[in-house]
Structure 1
Amino acid sequence: MDVNPINYELTFEPDLKKFTFLGTEIITVSCKKATNLISMDCAEIKIKSCTVKSGSKIIKSTPKSDEKKERLSIRLGEKIKGKATIHLEFQGILNDRLLGFYRSQYKQGGKTKYLATTQFEAADARRAFPCWDEPEAKATFEISIIAENKFSAISNMPVQSKKKIKNKTLYKFGKTPVVSTYLIYLGVGEFEYLTGKTGKVQIRVVTTKGNKSKGKYSLELGKKLLNSYEKYFGIKYPLPKLDLIAIPDFAAGAMENWGAITFRETILLYDPKTSSTRTKQFIAEVISHEIAHQWFGNLVTMKWWNDLWLNESFATFMATKFVDKFYPEWNLWDQFIEDAMNTAMGLDALKTTHPIDVKVNSPAEIREIFDAISYDKGGCVLRMLENYVGEKNFRAGLKKYLSTFKYGNAKGQDLWDAIGRASKMPVSSMVNTWLKQPGFPQIDISQKNNDLVLRQNRFLMEPTKKTQKGLWHVPITYGLGKETKTKLLTKKSMTVKAPKGPGFVANIGRTGFYRVKYDDGILLDLKMLVDQKQIPPVDRWAIQNDLFSLCVAGKEEVENYLDFSDAYFDEDSYLPQTNVATNLNSLASLTFFEDYSEQIRSYTINYFRKILSNLGWVPQKTDKHTDAFLRGFAIFALGKFGDEYVLEQAQIKFKEFLKNPSSLHPDIREPIFSLVAWAGNAKTHSQLVTLYKKAKTTEEKLRFLGAMCSFQNEKLLIKTLQFSQTSEVRSQNMQLPIMKIAANPYGKKILWPWLKKNWDKLSKKVGYGNPLFNRIVASIALVADDSMEKDIKSFFRSHPTPGTERTQAQTIEKIRIHSKFLRQMRKEFR
Structure 2
Amino acid sequence: MKVFPVNYVLEFEPIFKNFTFIGKEIITVECKDSVNTIIMHCAEIKIKSCRVINNDVIQKAVTKTDANKEELVITIKNKIKGCAFIEIEFTGDLNDRLLGFYRSQYKQNGKTKYLATTQFEAADARRAFPCWDEPEAKATFEISIIAENKFTAISNMPIMSKKRLKNKTLYKFAKTPIMSTYLIYLGVGEFEYLTGKIGKVQVRVITTKGNKSKGKYSLELGKKLLSSYEKYFGIKYPLPKLDLIAIPDFAAGAMENWGAITFRETILLYDPKTSSTRTKQYIAEVISHEIAHQWFGNLVTMKWWNDLWLNESFATFMATKFVDKFYPEWDLWNQFVDDAMNNAMALDSLKNTHPIDVKVNSTSEIREIFDAISYDKGGCVLRMLEHYVGESNFQKGLKKYLAGFKYKNAEGKDLWDAIGKISKMPVRSMVQTWLKQPGFPVVEIEKRDSILHLKQRRYVLESDKKSTKGLWFIPLSIGLQNELFQKLFTKKSMSVKLPKDNIGFVANFGRKGFYRVKYDEGTLIDLKMLIDQKQIPAIDRWAIQNDLFSLCVSGDETVRNYLDFSDAYYDEDSYLATVNVAHNLTSLYFRAFDEDFSDQIKNYTVKYLKKILHDLGWDPKKTDKHTDALMRGFVIFTLGKLNDEEVTIESENRYKQFLKNQNSLPPDLVEPVCSVMAWNGNSKTHAELTRLYRNAKTTEEKLRFLGAMCSFKDPKLLLKSLNFSQTSEVRSQNMQLPIMKVAGNPYGKKILWPWLKNNWPKLSKKVGRGNPLFNRIVASISSIADDSMEKEIRQFFKKNPTPGTERTQEQTLERIRINSKFLRNMRKEFS
Q: Same fold judged by TM-score > 0.5?
A: yes
Matches of 2:163 and 2:638, distance apart in 1: 60
Give distance in 2, aligned partners of 1:608 and 1:635. 9
- State whether structure 2 residue 755 is matched by structure 1 residue 757: no
Identify the residue that residue 440 of structure 2 maps to in structure 1. 440
Which one-letter code corresponds to 1:347 in the other structure?
Answer: L
SS in 2 for 1:626: helix
Does structure 2 retain, via aligned residues, the 8 Å contact 1:691–1:704?
yes
Question: Partner residue of 2:16?
Answer: 16
Matches within 5 A, 1:261-272: 261-272=261-272
Aligned residue for 1:223?
223
> How far has the Cα of 1:246 moved from its partner?
0.2
The equivalent residue for 1:659 is 660
- Residue pairs, 1:442-591, within 5 angstroms: 442-482=442-482, 484-499=484-499, 500-591=501-592
> Post-superposition shift, 1:122?
0.2
Moved more, 484-493 or 494-503: 494-503
Write the deviation string for residues 630-685 of structure 1: whole angstroms up to 9, x where unpaired.
10111011110110110011110011111111110001110000011000001111
Give the equivalent residue in structure 2 for 1:729: 730
Alignment coverage as a number of residue pairs: 830
- Report SS of the residue matched to 2:467: coil
Q: What's the CA shift string for 1:744-770, capped at 9, x where partnerless?
A: 000010001100010000111111111
Counterpart in 2 of 1:644? Answer: 645
Give me the whole-angstrom Cα distance separating, in 2, the residues matched to 1:827 and 1:442.
26
Corresponding position: 1:121 with 2:107: no
The residue number in structure 2 matching 1:293 is: 293
Output one character per residue of 1:203-250: Cα deviation in whole Å (capped at 9) or x when no partner.
Answer: 000000000000000000000000000000000000000000000000
Contact preservation (8 Å) 1:308, 1:374: yes
Distance in 1 (CA, whole Å) between partners of 2:726 and 2:495 is 60
Distance 1:529 1:337 in 2: 21
Aligned partners of 1:45, 1:152: CA distance in 2, in Å? 25
Distance 2:60 2:614 in 1: 81
Gaps in structure 1 of 5+ consecutive residues: none
Q: Matched residues in 2 for 1:481 and 1:335: separation? A: 20
Task: Give distance in 1, aligned partners of 2:210 and 2:394.
Answer: 44
In structure 2, the gaps of 5 or more residues are: none
Give CA deviations for 1:335-370 in whole Å, capped at 9, x if unaligned: 000000000000000000000000001111000000
Which residue pairs with 1:362 in the alignment?
A: 362
Distance 1:712 1:741 in 2: 10
| CA apart distance, 1:481 | 2.3
Equivalence for 2:707: 706
Q: Distance in 2 between matches of 1:748 and 1:24?
A: 52
Return the offset for 1:57: 0.3
In structure 2, C-alpha distance between the alignment counterparts of 1:260 and 1:596, rounded to whole Å: 55
Q: Give, as a single letter, the amino acid of the residue that structure 2 aligns with 1:89.
A: E
Q: Give me the whole-angstrom Cα distance separating, in 2, the residues matched to 1:591 and 1:627.
A: 28
CA contact (8 A) 2:477 2:483 kept: no
- Cross-structure match for 1:172: 172
1: CA distance between counterparts of 2:507 and 2:628? 28
Task: Give me the whole-angstrom Cα distance separating, in 2, the residues matched to 1:597 and 1:458.
Answer: 32
Asked if 1 retains the 8 angstrom alpha-carbon contact of 2:440 and 2:515, the reply is yes
TM-score normalized with structure 2 length: 1.00
CA contact (8 A) 2:293 2:311 kept: yes
**Match of 1:321, SS?**
helix
The answer (yes or no) to whether the contact 2:50–2:60 under 8 Å persists in 1 is: no
Shift of 1:485: 0.8
1:53·1:85 contact (CA, 8 Å) conserved in 2? yes
SS of the residue 2:649 aligns to = helix
How far off its partner does 1:323 sit? 0.2
8 Å CA contact 2:66–2:72 kept in 1: the answer is: yes
CA–CA separation in structure 2 for the residues paired with 1:361 and 1:496: 44
Which residue in the other structure is 1:799 paired with?
800
Quote the offset at 1:486 in angstroms: 0.6
CA separation in 1, counterparts of 2:733 and 2:681?
28
Partner of residue 67, structure 1: 67
Instruction: Write the deviation string for residues 360-410 of structure 1: whole angstroms up to 9, x where unpaired.
Output: 011110000000000000000000000000000000000000000000000
Separation (CA, whole Å) in 2 of partners of 1:69 and 1:23 = 21
Which SS does the other structure have where 2:573 is aligned? coil
Q: 1:337 to 1:482 in 2, by over 3 A?
A: closer
- What does residue 238 of structure 1 align with? 238
Shift of residue 626, structure 1, vs aligned partner: 0.3
Q: 2:27 touches 2:86 (CA, 8 Å); kept in 1? A: yes
Change (3 A) 1:494 1:44: same
Is the contact made by 2:675 and 2:711 (CA closer than 8 Å) also made in structure 1? yes
Question: Is residue 2:616 matched to residue 1:615?
Answer: yes
> Percent sequence identity over matched residues?
75
Corresponding residue of 1:204: 204
Paired residue secondary structure (1:271): coil
Give, in angstroms, the shift of residue 60 of structure 1.
3.6
Give yes or no for contact 1:218–1:284 (8 Å, CA) kept in 2: yes
The answer to which of 700-709 and 477-486 deviates more is 477-486
RMSD value, Cα: 0.6
**Alignment map for 1:666-685 (pairs within 5 Å):** 666-685=667-686
Distance 2:60 2:481 in 1: 78
How far apart in 2 are the matches of 1:488 and 1:769?
42
Deviation at 1:483, TM superposition (A): 5.9
Q: What is the SS of the residue equivalent to 2:466?
A: coil
Deviation at 1:465, TM superposition (A): 1.3
Residue 78 of structure 1 and its aligned partner are, at CA, apart by: 1.1
Letter in 1 for 2:174: G
Residues 453-485 of structure 1: CA deviation (Å, up to 9, x unaligned): 011000000111111110000011102124601
Q: What does the per-residue CA deviation read over 1:62-102, in whole Å, with 9 as the maximum and x for residues that have no partner?
A: 11111111100001101110000000000000000000000
Residues 574-616 of structure 1: CA distance to partner in whole angstroms, max 9, x if unpaired? Answer: 0000000010010011111111100001100000000000000
Distance in 1 separating the partners of 2:637 and 2:691: 22
Q: Is the 8 A contact 1:447 1:498 kept in 2?
A: no
- Aligned with 2:193: secondary structure? strand
Report the CA distance between 1:629 and its aligned residue: 1.0
* 8 A contact 1:246–1:263 mirrored in 2: yes
- Please give the alpha-carbon distance, in whole angstroms, between the structure 1 residues aligned to 2:618 and 2:52: 71
Q: Quote the residue 1:824 is aligned against.
A: 825
Residue identity matched to 2:167: N
Distance 1:690 1:660 in 2: 15
- Which residues of 2 match residues 274-353 of structure 1 at below 5 A? 274-353=274-353
- How far apart in 2 are the matches of 1:593 and 1:639? 17
Q: Aligned partners of 1:216 and 1:496: how far apart in 2? A: 54
* CA positional deviation for 1:16: 1.2
1:293-329 per-position Cα deviation (integer Å, ceiling 9, x unaligned)? 0000000000000000000000000000000000000
Amino acid at match of 1:494: M
The aligned counterpart of 2:775 is 774
Distance 1:384 1:450 in 2: 27
Q: Distance in 2 between matches of 1:496 and 1:184?
A: 54
| Matched AA of 2:590 | S
Matched residue SS, 1:252: coil
Give 1:14's aligned amino acid. P
Q: CA shift at 1:502, angstroms? A: 1.5
SS at match of 1:467: helix
Helix, strand or coil: the match of 2:487?
strand
Instruction: Please give the per-residue CA displacement for 1:713-767, whole angstroms capped at 9, x wherever unaligned.
Output: 0010000000000000000001100000000000010001100010000111111
| Aligned mates of 2:443, 2:155 — CA distance in 1 | 51
Query: Which has the larger displacement, 471-480 or 99-108?
Result: 471-480
Instruction: Report the CA distance between 1:449 and its aligned residue.
Output: 1.7
Q: Which residue of 1 aligns with 2:6?
A: 6
State the partner residue of 2:138: 138
Other-structure match for 2:249: 249
Q: Structure 1 CA distance, aligned partners of 2:688 and 2:8?
A: 54
Say yes or no: does 1:394 pair with 2:394: yes
